[in-house]
């Protein structure tokens, strides 16, 4: 083709210059005029159609020919939901948004995603991410594609990302693709009226939990069944060998197990010994397509195995040598070009056929372990291709999420293959397989790590587990997650009822566990650079590995209870409350140093984890498992004593007060902190006293012991006036909470909040950045509509409201703040002040405009939540003032919608007016308070006076013309 086109936002096709196309090597772009006007070989079209119906992944050529010949692909019910959701995403004020499409293996998820892209190629710039791992290159190229044709022709990119598993590893939650996209949007200084990219993220998931909003399953609705039956009649008419089209027929038969059984029946009886090489290839494919759906083997690799003794040209083709199983397999090309090319590959026609074949093989005595061993021995040469290495890793190491138990999904302890070999064969087979793989891949650390885990979890063989854990560390000494396994070996040995009975033996193992966990924690501290990678792909520096600190706490808990069972006096020794003579009477003198330092070391780690867990979580809608909180609190109680809970950190106090609801208890806590503050005069005690007052005000604004805002401000003001460059983020948090501009009375020399915000960020970077990194920072407080301390709303009940941000969402009791976006930054406008705040969703910041938002405060600083672009609505309310006053009918409904934003006295005056016009005139005097109330007024008009809005909008367009 001479040129390729992409659409602009108005639907016009823009030709792309060659230099722009050359910059898109990581994207498979679905051009607006793809294949149009080309002379396509009919034989090629037929071959690609047959490949697809047999079970090969579709090509863009398949969609083009189906559309051209008016024989479109069958649409699953979910197709409409996806296209409607894409349209909604196009109408949002977010530069980036995503849609997660979950699909069960073999349900057609990839085909559906490609179908959506093909059908929208003339409206959006559609592309498939070729190499999902290279998020930096993809992000740069998406921006090139968005900008192609110049600023006047920009258009949204619909990006299909296949099987980036967002929860593949709970410690790797950082979505680097979105982060890189946001960074590139900033660098390109994009300010557009249309979203930059909508990501269609396809995620293969075996088990359905009901929480998935979009999931394609291996079952058809009645409507889908009717569509497939109609398509089946068309296929039968057009192809004589349609009975071999298992990829299509399985779906048309609603994934019938009876059909699968009949299709595989001819394989019986199966040989178990001296099987021909083509039968072994079949078993390899059955194995990998069962446990790694979508995987394949290359034609080259298969031919080398099939023809070991006859390495000459003119050897039989792969089709010829696999002819005995031809209809169960599909051989296809991975590129869109010629039908037969060097990149051809082979796989089973469908995952369900693979599972059936594998079942027949195991029933006949061809074991899973034997097939896997032969795969490793015969198909893995000295240099293994990346695609095959990935398959091996998933077979042996990838821990799947098991069937949900109640509402919870829990990861299996080992890969599904290892689980099945353990249950269907025996544990020694698993060990043999791991050992063989560890020898086959001498540089891989994760196979010996998995073997070490198998030894201590399944076999309780701690000596061998220790040995293999150390082997893994030797292979990857700078990976804290690898080092963690050694600590887990010792910790599990310590917990085992049959081990570590005497005090000396308990302390011997504990010392090893503590040493391993501390080495892990030290290594985790160093994991800051992008060079630190797991498996050469996943960037582990995006998350701080706190397992070493938590493992230390768990080990400390274990020895506390174990030693206490030996002699109850050990609990006092561990708390540093008793004479140390017990150490010597129990012949544990060599552990004197460990025992005397254990309380302080444990307390430090408990305090750290309190900060870590209170200020952040894995992501907005995902907390750490409850046992982490429980074990940490238990350890603190064991070593520091429960009655000393009020001497904990600021975050610890936040945690404690979150669970205290009694006014009398809160008053007691506040009085205790008052005494501590008066006696010590330290900054931290002053901050805790102020925090206790804030919490007390939430439950009892009339409490006699509650200090007023000016009194608390005075405490902070005195601290502020001291020159101190190393103040904590907690100090600046309280300054922002108490001095944020409102009607509250302030002291003279009020702190400069712009400076305070800057200091707070610098303090956060010094104190917490290294540890919290890309975790979700929890909003600790929000700004409410009340006065004084009552305007501060604790986060407990509100975080869930921001899981998905809707621009029209209203939260009763929260105050919307006026703001502005400039140069991809958000500023809160408070009188003469312009205070920079961080956006909760960076993708909502890409236009230069006036906005409103809810204001929350994290440990890093103030954050804008639920950003709403309001300038146009405010302009509309001003422009059409006369018509709105004269024509609005549902005045009382609108006044009620605005009630939270109208002072009581003025509300009464408006309601007392005798006519609608008078009420509206009085209401307009209130609207001058700011554009956030104008925007709320506009939203109410949209809801209650839709016809009027439509008339005024049309009138506005005519007058502008």
Identify the band that residue 405 occupies on the pLDDT scale cut at 50, 70 and 90: low
Average pLDDT over residues 382-396: 90
Nearest to 28 by CA among 55, 59, 54: 59
Burial code (b: 16+ CB inside 10 Å, e: under 16) for 520-551 equals bbebbeebeeeebebeeeebbbbbbbbbbbbb
Of 17-31, 180-194, 309-323, 871-885, the least confident:
309-323
Of 76-90, 361-375, 535-549, the least confident:
535-549
- pLDDT at position 936 is 84
Widest distance between CA atoms in the chain: 102
Average pLDDT over residues 888-900: 90
- pLDDT at position 531 is 43
Mention every residue, 6+ apart, whose C-beta is less than 8 A from residue 832: none
CA dist 343 and 356 (Å) reads 28
Residue 530 has pLDDT above 70, yes or no: no
Mention every residue, 6+ apart, whose C-beta is less than 8 A from residue 150: none
Q: What is the pLDDT of the chain when averaged over all its residues? A: 87
CA dist 901 and 785 (Å) reads 8
Residues in the chain: 961
- pLDDT at position 654 is 87
Contact 61, 118 (CB under 8 A): no
Residue 533 has pLDDT above 50, yes or no: no
Residue 56 has pLDDT above 90, yes or no: yes
Q: What percent of the chain has pLDDT over 90?
A: 60
- pLDDT at position 526 is 87
- pLDDT at position 850 is 85
Residue 663 has pLDDT above 80, yes or no: yes
Contact 849, 818 (CB under 8 A): no
Task: Write the DSSP string, 739-787.
Answer: HSSSSS---SS---HHHHHHHHHHHHHHHTHHHHTTSEEPP-EEEBSSS
Contact 98, 201 (CB under 8 A): yes
Average pLDDT over residues 412-440: 95
Structure tokens at 68: 């051209």
- pLDDT at position 743 is 47
- pLDDT at position 796 is 63
Of 231-245, 733-747, 850-864, 901-915, the least confident:
733-747
**Which domains does the chain possess?**
4-38+58-221 (3.40.50), 478-530+543-630 (no CATH), 646-707 (no CATH), 715-870 (no CATH), 872-956 (1.10.533.10)
- pLDDT at position 523 is 93
Place of tokens 């299996």: 412
- pLDDT at position 537 is 33
3-state secondary structure of 30: strand
Q: What percent of the chain has pLDDT over 70?
A: 90
CA distances from 260 to 356, 693, 877, 949 (A): 7, 69, 64, 58
Identify the band that residue 532 occupies on the pLDDT scale cut at 50, 70 and 90: very low
First to last CA, the chain: 41
* Highest mean pLDDT: which range of 458-472, 775-789, 855-869, 935-949: 458-472
- pLDDT at position 859 is 97
To 5 degrees, how large is the angle CA 367–CA 372–CA 374?
95
Reported as a single tens digit per residue, the pLDDT across 278-295 is 999 999 999 999 999 989
3-state secondary structure of 201: strand
Of 550-554, 579-583, 711-715, the least confident:
579-583
């Amino acid at each position: 083709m001479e040129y390729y086109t992409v659409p602009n936002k108005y639907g016009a096709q823009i030709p792309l210059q060659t230099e722009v196309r050359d910059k898109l090597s990581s994207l498979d772009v679905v051009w607006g005029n793809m294949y149009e006007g080309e002379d396509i070989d009919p034989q090629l079209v037929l071959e690609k159609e047959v490949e697809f119906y047999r079970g090969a992944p579709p090509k863009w050529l398949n969609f083009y020919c189906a559309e051209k010949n008016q024989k479109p692909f069958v649409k699953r019910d979910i197709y409409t939901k996806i296209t409607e959701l894409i349209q909604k995403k196009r109408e949002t004020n977010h530069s980036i948004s995503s849609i997660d499409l979950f699909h069960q293996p073999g349900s057609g998820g990839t085909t559906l995603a490609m179908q959506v892209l093909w059908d929208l190629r003339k409206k959006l710039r559609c592309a498939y991410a070729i190499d999902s791992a290279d998020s930096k290159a993809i992000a740069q190229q998406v921006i090139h594609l968005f900008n192609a044709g110049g600023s006047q022709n920009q258009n949204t990119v619909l990006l299909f990302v296949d099987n980036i598993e967002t929860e593949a590893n709970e410690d790797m939650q950082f979505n680097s693709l979105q982060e890189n996209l946001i960074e590139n949007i900033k660098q390109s200084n994009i300010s557009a009226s249309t979203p930059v990219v909508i990501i269609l993220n396809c995620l293969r998931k075996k088990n359905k939990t009901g929480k998935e909003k979009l999931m394609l399953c291996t079952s058809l609705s009645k409507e889908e069944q009717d569509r497939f039956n109609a398509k089946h009649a068309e296929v039968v008419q057009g192809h004589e060998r349609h009975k071999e089209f298992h990829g299509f027929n399985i779906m048309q038969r609603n994934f019938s197990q009876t059909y699968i059984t009949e299709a595989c029946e001819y394989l019986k009886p199966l040989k178990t010994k001296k099987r021909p090489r083509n039968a072994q290839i079949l078993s390899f494919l059955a194995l990998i397509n069962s446990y790694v759906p979508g995987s394949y083997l290359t034609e080259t690799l298969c031919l080398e195995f099939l023809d070991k003794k006859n390495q000459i040209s003119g050897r039989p083709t792969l089709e010829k040598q696999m002819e005995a199983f031809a209809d169960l397999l599909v051989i296809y090309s991975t590129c869109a070009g010629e039908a037969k090319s060097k990149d051809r590959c082979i796989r089973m026609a469908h995952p369900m056929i693979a599972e059936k074949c594998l079942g027949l093989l195991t029933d006949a005595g061809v074991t899973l372990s034997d097939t896997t061993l032969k795969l490793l021995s015969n198909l893995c040469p000295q240099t293994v291709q990346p695609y095959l290495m990935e398959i091996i890793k998933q077979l042996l190491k990838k821990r799947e999420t098991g069937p949900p138990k109640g509402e919870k999904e829990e990861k299996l302890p080992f890969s599904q293959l290892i689980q099945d070999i353990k249950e269907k064969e025996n544990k020694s087979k698993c060990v043999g397989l791991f050992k063989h793989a560890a020898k086959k891949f001498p540089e891989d650390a994760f196979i010996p790590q998995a073997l070490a885990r198998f030894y201590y979890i399944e076999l309780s063989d701690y000596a061998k587990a220790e040995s293999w854990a150390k082997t893994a560390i030797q292979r990857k000494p700078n990976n804290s997650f690898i080092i963690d396994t050694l600590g887990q070996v010792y910790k599990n040995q310590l917990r085992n009822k049959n081990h570590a009975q005497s005090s000396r033996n308990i302390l011997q193992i504990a010392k090893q566990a503590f040493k391993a966990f501390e080495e892990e924690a030290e290594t985790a501290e160093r994991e800051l650079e992008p060079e630190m990678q797991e498996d050469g792909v996943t960037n582990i520096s995006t998350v701080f590995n706190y397992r070493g600190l938590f493992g230390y706490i768990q080990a400390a808990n274990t020895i506390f209870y174990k030693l206490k069972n030996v002699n109850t006096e050990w609990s006092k020794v561990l708390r540093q409350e008793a004479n140390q003579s017990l150490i010597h009477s129990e012949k544990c003198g060599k552990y004197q140093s460990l025992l005397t330092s254990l309380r302080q070391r444990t307390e430090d780690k408990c305090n750290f984890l309190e900060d870590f867990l209170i200020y952040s979580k894995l992501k907005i809608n995902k907390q750490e498992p409850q046992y982490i909180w429980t074990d940490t609190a238990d350890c603190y109680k064991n070593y520091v004593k429960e009655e000393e809970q009020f001497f904990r950190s600021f975050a610890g106090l936040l945690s404690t007060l979150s669970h205290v609801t009694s006014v009398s208890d809160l008053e007691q806590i506040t009085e205790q902190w008052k005494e501590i503050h008066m006696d010590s005069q330290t900054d931290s005690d002053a901050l805790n006293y102020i925090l206790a007052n804030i919490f007390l005000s939430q439950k009892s604004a009339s409490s006699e012991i509650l200090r007023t805002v000016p009194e608390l401000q005075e405490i902070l003001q005195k601290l502020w006036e001291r020159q101190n460059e190393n103040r904590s983020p907690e100090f600046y948090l309280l300054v922002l909470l108490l001095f944020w501009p409102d009607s509250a009375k302030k002291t003279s020399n009020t702190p400069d909040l712009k400076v305070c915000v800057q200091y707070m960020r610098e303090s956060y970077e010094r104190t917490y950045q290294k540890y919290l990194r890309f975790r979700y920072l929890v909003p600790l407080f929000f700004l409410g509509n009340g006065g004084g301390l009552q305007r501060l709303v604790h986060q407990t009940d509100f975080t869930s409201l921001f899981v998905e941000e809707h621009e029209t969402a209203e939260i009763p009791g929260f105050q919307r703040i006026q703001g502005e976006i400039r140069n991809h930054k958000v500023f809160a406008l408070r009188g003469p002040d312009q205070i920079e705040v961080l956006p909760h969703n960076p993708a909502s910041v890409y236009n230069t405009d006036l906005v409103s938002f809810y204001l929350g405060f994290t440990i890093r600083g103030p954050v804008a939540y639920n950003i709403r672009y309001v300038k146009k609505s405010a302009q509309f309310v001003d422009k059409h003032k006369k018509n709105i006053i004269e024509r609005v009918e549902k005045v009382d409904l609108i006044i009620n919608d605005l009630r939270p934003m109208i002072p009581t006295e003025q509300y009464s005056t408006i309601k007392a007016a005798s006519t609608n016009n008078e009420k509206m005139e009085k209401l307009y005097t209130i609207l001058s308070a700011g554009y956030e109330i104008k925007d709320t007024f506009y939203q109410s008009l949209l809801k209650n006076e839709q016809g009027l809005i439509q008339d005024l909008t049309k009138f506005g367009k005519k007058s502008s013309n």
